[in-house]
A and B are shown apart, each in its own frame.
Chain A
Amino acid sequence: MKNSRIVFGSLIAAIAVVAGLALGSLLWQKRVPALPKAEVANNERGQTFGIDKNINEASIDKYLGRDDVVYRDMRMLEDPAEYEKIDGDRFLSGIVEGFEVTPLPYLVNVEGLPEAVGKTYEGPTLYTVTDGKYTENYKESKQILEDLFPKDKNIFLMCGGGGYAGMTKQMLVTLGWNADKLYVVGGYWYYEGEHNIKIKQGDGSFAFWKLAYHNIDFSKLTETQDE
């Protein structure tokens, strides 16, 4: 008798938990609007960098702070390429709130920069791309990439002008990520929204401590050629 009461009580409790979860899920779906489908814009920026038609610099504010999205800014804190020679900005001078810095030049070798800016970062990278083919440089490369860009989440990519973000999408798609979950949001230089975190300060210094930064310590990784 006592046992049957325990079983009955447990059953009720289980039903209550399931109902609670279902209700919570329903409320969550109501609170967080569905993301528009990832769709490359049919304009100059879309054709050049793959910038998204629906989620871009102008609309990103509506899609910040979501649990179903990871936010990545692909710039270096300071790019060795001398962008100031072409009136550019080699420093990460600001970021959209919630985006975490994950520099593309540490993920893969970057090529095709304008001659005037000289060479960019040439140190170790997780992958090397040659003629569109990506080769792992470390045993941990794939795992790190999957940790930084979880496949079960939507991935929002930004950088300064859109180039690094576009190149990141291209890399991830080539390596097996679902293009429908990858959004090239665009460039911070064009962002005029309400969530602008300024890193360059009035005196010209940079408040890098305000940034969430994904560091890759290559010295702790195992080179594939070592195996």
Chain B
Amino acid sequence: MNKRTKKWLIGGAIGLAALFAAAFAIAVIIPHDSRVRLESYGKSESVLLDDKEYEQMIADKRSFLIMVNQPGCIRTDDMSTWFLEYPEEMQFKYYSMSWAHAKDTSLHNYVKYAPSLAVIKGGEVIAWLDADSEEDEKYFGDPEELKTWLKKYIIF
């Protein structure tokens, strides 16, 4: 092996190692954004789903925010109103489903009570609000707190 080939080999090996190191850094060390990009922004818009439509969206591995409401629940109405009052850049299209439908879907494995909000990424539930949890109470009662929660899981 002549000197020139040796140089090429060493250079190639170093290059490959650098490539692997960069890929490793991107995949593991540099934190990637696990938040969800919703379908549309700029306008608060709600689309009503039933249990079958929800399951189809899950099967299609869609990413979205869903509100589970209980007929007559005051706070659920509050959340819809808050969404309308958020600044334009924080308005978005979301889905809603009544508890009567939600309890017959796979979402019921996570959401046990209405009202609730759940963030779905690629067909997987990544976060949800629990109306029975003391920790989550602040998000139900204050639009600014809810905004903080949304920003944690959704790209704006």
Contacts and interface: CB of A to CB of B under 8 A. Distances in A.
Interface stretch (B57-65, B81-89, B118-126, B130-138): B130-138
Interface stretch (B11-19, B22-30, B32-40, B72-80): B72-80
B23 to A, nearest CB: 44
Contacts of B134: 41-43
B71 A86 contact: yes
Contacts of A189: 70, 99-100, 103
A103 to B, nearest CB: 15
Most buried by A among B72, B99, B101, B112: B72
Given A48-B74, A190-B113, A43 B103 contact: no
Given A44-B131, A48-B73, 18 more contacts: A41-B134, A42-B134, A43-B130, A43-B133, A43-B136, A44-B115, A47-B141, A48-B74, A48-B75, A86-B71, A86-B72, A87-B98, A88-B72, A114-B71, A161-B70, A187-B70, A189-B100, A189-B103
Contacts of B48: 87
A197 B134 CA distance: 30
A189 B100 CA distance: 8
* Smallest CB-CB A-B distances: 4 pairs: A88-B71, A87-B98, A44-B131, A44-B140
Given A88-B72, A161-B114, A189-B70, A45 B77 contact: no
Contacts of B71: 83, 86-89, 114, 117, 161
Contacts of A117: 71-72
Given A87-B100, A161-B114, A189-B99, A44 B72 contact: no
A212 interface: no
A138 B140 CA distance: 40
Contacts of A163: 72-73
A153 to B, nearest CB: 27
Contact of A83 (B72, B75, B115, B130): B72
Interface string A101-143: 0000000000011100100000000000000000000000000
A89 B132 contact: no
Contacts of A47: 137, 140-141
A87 B132 contact: no
Given A83-B71, A117-B71, A161-B71, A44 B137 contact: yes
Most buried by B among A47, A88, A89, A187: A88
13 contacts: A42-B137, A44-B136, A45-B131, A48-B74, A83-B71, A83-B72, A86-B71, A89-B100, A117-B71, A161-B71, A161-B114, A187-B70, A189-B70
Given A45-B131, A45-B132, A113 B72 contact: yes
Contacts of A112: 74
Given A43-B132, A45-B131, A190-B113, A87 B72 contact: no
A41 B77 CA distance: 21
Most buried by A among B77, B100, B140: B100
A203 to B, nearest CB: 19
Given A44-B115, A45-B113, A89-B100, A114 B131 contact: no
